[in-house]
Amino acid sequence: MPYQQFDETRPYLVNNTFDHAASAGIPLALGWNTAGVSRLDAWAISSTDTIDHVIDVGVYTSGIIIQMATITIPAGAGQGTVPVVDVLAAIWGTALHYIMSAGNNDYAIQLDVVVSTGKLLEVTLMGGGF
C-alpha cells in the first residue's frame, strides 16, 4: 500500500505549550527528533492569547531554524469560532501534505513577540515511523 496519511506502525505525538516565559526572536525546538520517526503528518497550533502572533516555522538544527514559512496565528486560534492553525496547509495549501524526515530532524517555531501573561500557545505534531 502506498504511503497514506496516518498509516505509520509506530505513531508519535509531541505536544508543546508555550507561555510568557518563552522567548521571542529565538528558535523554540519542538522535540520531534526521536529515532524512528520518519514522517510528520500534522502540525497544529492553537492560542489563548488576545493578540495575533506572526511566527517562523521550520527545521531546527544546531540551534538555528531553517525557515520553511512565516505564518500568522490569530488571537484565540482553536478557541470558539477561530480554527486551529494547520501549519502544513499554511505552507502548501489545503491538499494532503506531510513531511518525510531525512534523518532525525527536529522542528521549531520562532515567536515575533512573547505570549501574553496568563495566555498559552500550544503546538502539536503528529506522525510516526514505518
Q: Is there a domain that residue 65 lies in?
A: yes
Q: Is there a domain that residue 112 lies in?
A: yes
Q: What is the pLDDT of residues 22-50, one digit of tens each?
A: 999 999 999 887 766 778 889 999 999 99
Query: Out of 12-16, 32-36, 115-119, which region has the weakest mean confidence (pLDDT)?
Result: 32-36
Q: Which three cell numbers stand for residue 85?
A: 492553525
pLDDT at res. 2: 46
Residue at 116: amino acid letter: S
Q: Which three cell numbers stand for residue 104?
A: 532525525
Residue 86 burial class via C-beta count within 10 angstroms: exposed 0-12, middle 13-18, buried 19 and up:
middle
Q: Is there a domain that residue 35 lies in?
A: yes
pLDDT at 122 over 80: yes
Q: Is there a domain that residue 66 lies in?
A: yes
Sign of CA dihedral 102, 105, 17, 57: negative
Residue at 15: amino acid letter: N
Q: Is there a domain that residue 64 lies in?
A: yes
Q: Which three cell numbers stand for residue 37?
A: 520517526
Q: Which helix (H) or strand (E) holds 92?
A: helix 87-92
CA distance 67 to 125: 17
Number of domains in the chain: 1
Domain with residue 110: its CATH number is: 2.60.120
Mean pLDDT over each residue of the chain, to the nearest integer: 87
Q: Which residue has the cell 501573561?
A: 117
Q: Is there a domain that residue 2 lies in?
A: no
pLDDT at 7 over 70: no
> Comparing C-alpha atoms, which of 71, 77, 84, 80 is closest to residue 125?
84
Domain of 90 in residue numbering reads as 10-129
Q: How far is CA 36 from CA 9, 40, 129, in A?
A: 10, 12, 5
Q: What is the pLDDT of residues 53-72, one digit of tens each?
A: 999 999 998 889 999 999 99
β-partners of residue 28 are 109
pLDDT at res. 40: 87
